[in-house]
Chains A and B, each alone.
Chain A
Amino acid sequence: MEYLIIFFGVMVVLFAIGVPIAISIGLTCLTVLVLRDGITAIPAELFALQIMRGLNNFPILAIPFFIFAAAIMNVGTVAMRIFDFANALVGSVRGGLGHVNVLASILFSGMSSTAVADVAGLGQLELKAMRERGYPRSFAVGITGASAVISPMIPPSIALVVYGWQSGTSVAAMFLAGLVPGLMVGAAFMVTSFVMSFWLPMPLSPRPALPETARLFWRALPPLLTPVIIVGGIWTGMFTPTEAGAIACVYALFLSTVVYREMTFALLMDVLASTVRFSSIILFIIGIATFYGWLLVRLRIPQELAMTIASLDVGNTTIMLAIVLFFLVIGCFMSVVEAILIFTPIFMLTIQALGIDPVYFGVLMVLTLSCGVITPPFGNVLFVLAEITGMPFEKVSLAVVPFLLPILAVIGLTLFFPQIATFLPALVL
Chain B
Amino acid sequence: MMGFAQLEAGFARILELISMALMMALVAVITYAVLGRQVFHLPVAWSEEVGAGLLAWMVLLGSAAAWYHRRHLVIDVVLRRLNRRWLRGFCIFIEIAGLLLLVVAFWGSQSMMRVSVHNSTTALGVSYSFLYLALVIGLGAMILFSIAQLLRLIRGDEAALPNYESEGEWNT
Contacts and interface: CB of A to CB of B under 8 A. Distances in A.
Contacts of A247: 31, 34
Nearest to A244: B34
Given A18-B75, A21-B75, A44-B105, A277 B111 contact: no
Nearest to B69: A277
B73 A281 contact: yes
Is the contact region of chain A dominated by helix, strand, or loop, or is it mixed? helix
A45 interface: yes
Given A243-B33, A277-B65, A27 B23 contact: no
Q: Chain B interface mostly helix, strand, loop or mixed?
A: helix
Interface residues of A, number: 65
Interface residues of B, number: 59
A119 to B, nearest CB: 11
A272 B24 contact: yes
Contact of B62 (A45, A68, A280, A393): A280
A280 B104 contact: no
Contacts of B52: 56-58, 61
Contacts of A246: 26-27, 30-31, 34
Contacts of B69: 277
A342 to B, nearest CB: 14
Contacts of B63: 280-281, 283-284
Nearest to A238: B38
Interface in A35-92: 42-49, 51-52, 55-58, 60-61, 64-65, 68
B71 A44 contact: no
Contacts of B60: 55, 280, 284
A280 B58 contact: yes
A387 interface: yes
B135 interface: yes
A393 B168 CA distance: 11
Interface stretch (A94-102, A307-315, A378-386, A408-416): A378-386
Interface in B43-78: 48, 51-53, 55-56, 58-63, 65-66, 69, 71-78
B124 to A, nearest CB: 13
Nearest to B109: A48
A243 B28 CA distance: 11
A30 interface: yes
B66 A387 contact: no
B160 interface: no
Contact of B72 (A17, A30, A281, A386): A281
Contact of B108 (A49, A60, A276): A49
A60 B58 CA distance: 13
Contact of A21 (B31, B73, B104, B135): B73
Nearest to A239: B34
Given A22-B72, A277-B66, A383-B170, A52 B135 contact: yes
A242 interface: yes
Contact of A377 (B23, B77, B104): B77
Given A18-B94, A55-B60, A56-B131, A30 B104 contact: yes
B19 A276 contact: yes
A27 B100 contact: yes
Contacts of B65: 276-277, 280
B31 A278 contact: no
A377 B101 CA distance: 28
Contacts of A64: 23, 26, 55, 58
B98 A19 contact: yes
A116 interface: yes
Given A116-B172, A277-B71, A56 B55 contact: yes
Contacts of A384: 170
Contact of B135 (A51, A61, A238, A378): A51
Given A26-B105, A30-B100, A45 B111 contact: yes
Contact of B112 (A48, A60, A273, A276): A48
21 contacts: A17-B79, A19-B74, A20-B98, A21-B72, A23-B94, A26-B105, A44-B108, A48-B112, A56-B56, A56-B131, A57-B52, A61-B52, A61-B55, A246-B31, A250-B31, A276-B58, A276-B62, A279-B23, A283-B63, A377-B77, A380-B170
Q: Which 5 residue pairs of A and B lie closest in terms of their CB atoms, listed nearest first?
A: A280-B62, A44-B108, A383-B170, A246-B30, A48-B108
